[in-house]
């Protein structure tokens, strides 16, 4: 008899608080076999909390869970994984400074141990086989994980999380962290799981993706379940309304099609060679939004890092208003800001307060000549950004590590707004933020252009590039493959051929 449609996980009357924050209020959720069950809601609505409780990362305050027909009290994520329930976290979850194989088999070393000795050779061999099975041959089991990008590390996490025994997989806002190849891989994987009578909980802020991928959808708002929609009921307007509790306009991006800007160059790459990129030239002007698109490994991300002084130049130069960029300090001194895609490792101090993170780039300015940092002044700056970005928190003293993923991204964006930089390097600026805040960020970027600021926007999201940029440079295999000017008739299909 087919297993499809049978209940796999039931969450009943679940409550969870963190101090004064009530993250879940009487949540009830049923996941059935064959479902790719979407979970949507604004940043901080409780999506990660409910799924991480089910997957053994933390406990609930009260409530009941039934998994595979039995009461479910996972002791840890490893225990849950052994019982067939795995979660791919929104944040990076690999161990640095060890091999890919050691990451893949963390906690399973006994499988490769003989006479008390772990056979690294066997572990690497098994890792390579596992990676091959998932179709990610470019990652090697014996390599140190540090040499792999953020996107590749996410692929490693997927290979670690999913086994033949996995019955329920939670994918928490993972697709925006993945390259195109990674996305294709995960879509294939989850469709296969659903077809085999397993189930997936899929969390994403990309409405088109959710509607395309999921066959059922539950909406959360402020820790409450608002409703569940079948595939035929999934209308973007309706979903947005359920998420936010009010009508939200569809106008996201710039409405003008005028690509003009000042002739003044503020950032210039002159025959710059770094990493795998050779003789790279680029000019960013005042009042310009310049897009950099391509696949994740195309080199576009390296250009952003080099612009902010994070890559060592082998040849040529990078200049900001005529001054050489030779490291992060020279970038900051030239009033540049950088929103990294890798927010946990490069953008935020988790064990720092929201206030400390927000004022970090502005400390010199706030301290004044006396080098005295007034708490009152820094709190005012932080509070202004918390309000502007609707950062969901108790107050400005809350540690960033305790914020939801999207709210962390808002802090990462807001700290450069607080400094009032002139030049912004934005790598995936809207990663993980909900539709309302995305809309706000795009308005802010448009306003920056109007204020004659310069923006280098790096993104794999073609609609975002088409919607916002004056000029789009496409990169492929570490070279420029196209240079496209803003036009109202520009479509994704006009660009894709230059990407792949
Ligand atoms: N360890 C913690 N300490 C304090 N508050 C927390 C902690 N973990 C989560 N929260 C709070 O619980 C609420 C729900 O967070 P959760 O991560 O579940 O949201 P989410 O819907 O997954 O959001 P996002 O879309 O941004 O990922 C948020 O207000 C968050 O700040």
Ligand 1 centroid, distance to 403 Cα (angstroms): 5
Give me the phi and psi of 416, to 5 degrees please.
-80, -25
Tell the residue nearest (CA) to atom 18 of ligand 1: 46
* Predicted pLDDT of residue 248: 67
Q: What residue ranges of the chain have pLDDT lower than 50?
A: none
Output the residue whose Cα is nearest ligand 1's atom 31: 403
- Contacts of 117-120 with C-beta under 8 Å, sequence gap 24+, read none
Domains of the chain, first to last:
7-97+148-244 (3.40.50.300), 99-143 (no CATH), 265-499 (3.40.50.300)
* Ligand 1 in reach of 51 Cβ (< 6 A): no
pLDDT of residue 480: 97
Residue 176 Cβ < 6 Å to ligand 1: no
Is this complex's ipTM strictly greater than 0.90? Answer: yes
Most ligand 1 atoms within 8 A of CB, residue of 16, 17, 23, 242 to mutate: 23
Q: How far is it, in rounded angstroms, from Cα 318 to Cα 302? A: 13
The DSSP line for 345-403 is III--TTSBHHHHHHGGGHHHHHTTTT---HHHHHHHHHHHHHHTT--SS-TTSBGGGS
Per this entry, what is the length of the chain?
500
Please state the φ and ψ torsions of residue 224, each to the nearest 5 degrees.
Answer: -115, 145
Give the residue, out of 20, 44, 170, with the most ligand 1 atoms within 8 A of its beta carbon, to mutate for a pocket test.
44
Q: Is the CB of 304 under 6 A from ligand 1?
A: no
421 lines ligand 1 (CB under 6 A): no
The Cα-based distances of 132 to 112, 126, 184 in angstroms read: 19, 10, 15
CA of residue 57 to ligand 1 center, whole Å: 13
CA distance 23 to 47: 9
Pocket test for ligand 1, best of 48, 218, 399 (most atoms within 8 A of CB): 48
**How many whole angstroms from 23 Cα to the centroid of ligand 1?**
7
C-beta of 342 in contact with ligand 1 (< 6 A)? no
Whether 41 is in the pocket of ligand 1, judged by its Cβ within 6 Å, is yes
> Does residue 21's CB lie within 6 angstroms of at least one atom of ligand 1?
yes
Q: Kindly give the pairing relationship between strand 62-67 and strand 216-221.
A: unpaired
């Amino acid at each position: 008899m087919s297993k499809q449609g049978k209940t796999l996980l039931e969450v009943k009357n679940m409550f969870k608080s963190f101090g004064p924050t009530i993250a879940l209020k009487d949540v009830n959720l049923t996941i059935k076999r064959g479902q790719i069950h979407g979970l949507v809601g604004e940043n901080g609505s409780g999506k990660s909390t409910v799924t991480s409780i089910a997957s053994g990362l933390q406990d609930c305050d009260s409530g009941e869970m039934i998994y595979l027909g039995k009461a479910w009290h996972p002791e840890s994520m490893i225990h849950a994984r052994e019982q067939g329930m795995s979660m791919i976290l929104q944040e990076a979850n690999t161990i640095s400074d060890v091999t890919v194989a050691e990451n893949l088999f963390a906690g399973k070393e006994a499988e490769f141990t003989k006479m008390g000795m772990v056979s690294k050779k066997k572990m690497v061999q098994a890792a390579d086989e596992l990676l091959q099975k998932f179709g990610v041959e470019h990652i090697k089991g014996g390599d140190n994980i540090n040499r792999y990008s953020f996107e590749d590390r996410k692929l490693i996490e997927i290979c670690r999380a999913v086994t033949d025994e996995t019955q329920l997989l939670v994918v928490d806002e993972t697709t925006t962290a993945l390259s195109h190849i990674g996305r294709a891989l995960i879509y294939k994987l989850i469709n296969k799981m659903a077809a085999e009578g397993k189930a997936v909980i899929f969390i994403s802020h990309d409405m088109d993706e959710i509607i395309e991928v999921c066959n059922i959808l539950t909406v959360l708002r402020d820790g409450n379940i608002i409703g569940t929609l079948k595939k035929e009921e999934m209308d973007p307007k309706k979903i947005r309304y359920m998420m936010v509790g009010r009508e939200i306009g569809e106008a996201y991006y710039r409405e003008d099609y005028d690509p003009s800007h000042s002739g003044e160059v503020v950032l210039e790459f002159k025959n710059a060679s770094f990493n795998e990129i050779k003789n790279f030239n680029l000019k960013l002007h005042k009042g310009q939004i310049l897009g950099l698109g391509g696949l994740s490994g195309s080199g576009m991300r390296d250009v952003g890092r080099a612009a902010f002084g994070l890559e060592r130049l082998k040849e040529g130069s990078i200049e900001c208003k005529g001054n050489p960029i030779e490291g992060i300090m020279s970038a900051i001194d030239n009033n540049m800001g950088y929103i990294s895609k890798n927010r946990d490792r490069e953008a935020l101090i988790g064990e720092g307060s929201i206030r400390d993170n927000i004022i970090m780039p502005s400390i010199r300015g706030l301290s004044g000549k006396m080098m005295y940092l007034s708490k009152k002044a820094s709190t005012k700056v932080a509070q202004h950004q918390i309000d502007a970005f609707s950062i969901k928190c108790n107050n400005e003293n809350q540690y960033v590590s305790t914020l939801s993923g999207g709210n962390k991204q808002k802090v990462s964006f807001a700290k450069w707004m607080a400094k009032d930089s002139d030049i912004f390097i934005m790598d995936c600026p809207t990663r993980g933020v909900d539709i309302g805040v995305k809309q706000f960020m795009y308005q802010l970027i448009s306003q920056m252009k109007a204020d004659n600021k310069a923006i280098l926007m790096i993104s794999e999201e073609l609609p975002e590039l088409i919607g916002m940029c004056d000029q789009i440079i496409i990169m492929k295999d570490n070279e420029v493959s196209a240079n496209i000017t803003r036009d109202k008739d520009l479509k994704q299909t006009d660009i894709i051929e230059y990407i792949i």
